[in-house]
Amino acid sequence: MLSGVFGTAVKRGWCRENPVTYVDLPRLKEISIPVLSLEEVHRLLTAAEECASGACLAAIGLMLYSGIRPEEVKRLDWTQINLREGMVSLRARHSKTGGARIVTIRPVLKNLLKRAAAMGFGAGSVCPRNWSAKWREVRRLAGWDGKEKKWPADILRHTFASYFARHFKNLHVLQLEMGHASSDLLRTRYLNMEGITEVTAAIFWGELPRGFFPHKKWPSLNRGGHIWAGCAVRQIKS
């Protein structure tokens, strides 16, 4: 904050230099943040499809599989979603940072959005009326009752970033997708690789590794016409 104050003062000629530049900054430390497990993702998407006839499915899918912020998804409408081109256009006035950006629609998200559109929610605002109440009910049905198990802030965005980094291994692309000016914030706040393997990351993105298939006791990956995460896998001996 002081650096910003003095930096402005230097530009306007109120002082000759910024004294804060002489201060040694502490090294940024990586911190662990909570992310959803595959089973939790599965429960959340199941609840989203069942609650209010699936009205919240598109909004939840966009937050989970494209890293769009909760406040951004509230301002989003279907005219900004281009399934043919595979992208979502976030306007400058809609984003948190005030800058426009393009977010990629990957196959698993495309299937979710097509599913939502087929259920009659493919026009107008992405978030349904009484969104806050409906979103709270989805979380409750998925196991987050707000008492014994509270919903962590921004966990969908954190989940997106962590599974993306593990699977695609490209922080530069991730930085652009999330609308960050640099990758420093990703390294220190958003990335949590604990418990995320290459296999679980592949399942999250609907791209099962060669030699793996869902265990029979878990719900089908293709249930309801879209990819469902949260399935156990076992390796097939070649």
Q: Tell me what the mean pLDDT of segment 70-84 comes to.
A: 94
Question: Within a domain: residue 43?
Answer: yes
Question: Within a domain: residue 24?
Answer: no
pLDDT value for 54: 95
Higher pLDDT, 55 or 187: 55
**Conformational region of residue 154, where left means phi above 0, alpha means psi within -120 to 50, and beta covers everything else:** left
Question: Within a domain: residue 33?
Answer: no
Question: Within a domain: residue 4?
Answer: no
- Report the range of poorest mean pLDDT among 10-19, 75-84, 191-200: 191-200
Q: Which residues contact 228 (CB under 8 A, 6 or more apart)?
A: 42, 45, 46, 219, 220, 221, 222
| Res 224 pLDDT > 50 | no
Question: Within a domain: residue 188?
Answer: yes
Task: Categorize the per-residue pLDDT at 82 as very low, low, confident or very high, splitting at 50, 70 and 90.
Answer: very high
Question: Within a domain: residue 22?
Answer: no
Q: Name the residue range of residue 162's domain.
A: 38-145+153-235
For Cα atoms 14, 22, 26, give the angle at the middle one, nearest 5 degrees.
125
Question: Within a domain: residue 67?
Answer: yes
Considering its fold, how many domains does the chain have in total?
A: 1
- Find the CATH number of the domain harbouring 116: 1.10.443.10
Mean pLDDT (the chain) is 82
- Report the range of poorest mean pLDDT among 11-20, 94-103, 136-145, 171-180: 94-103
Higher pLDDT, 230 or 49: 49
Q: Tell me what the mean pLDDT of segment 64-76 comes to.
A: 94
Of 70, 77, 60, nearest to 96 (Cα)? 70
| Res 81 pLDDT > 70 | yes
Dihedral angle sign, alpha carbons of residues 98, 152, 64, 36: positive
Q: Quote the strand ranges of 58-179, DSSP E.
A: 81-82, 87-90, 101-104
pTM of the model: 0.75
| Res 116 pLDDT > 60 | yes
pLDDT value for 236: 35
| Res 20 pLDDT > 60 | yes
pLDDT value for 124: 94
Question: Within a domain: residue 15?
Answer: no
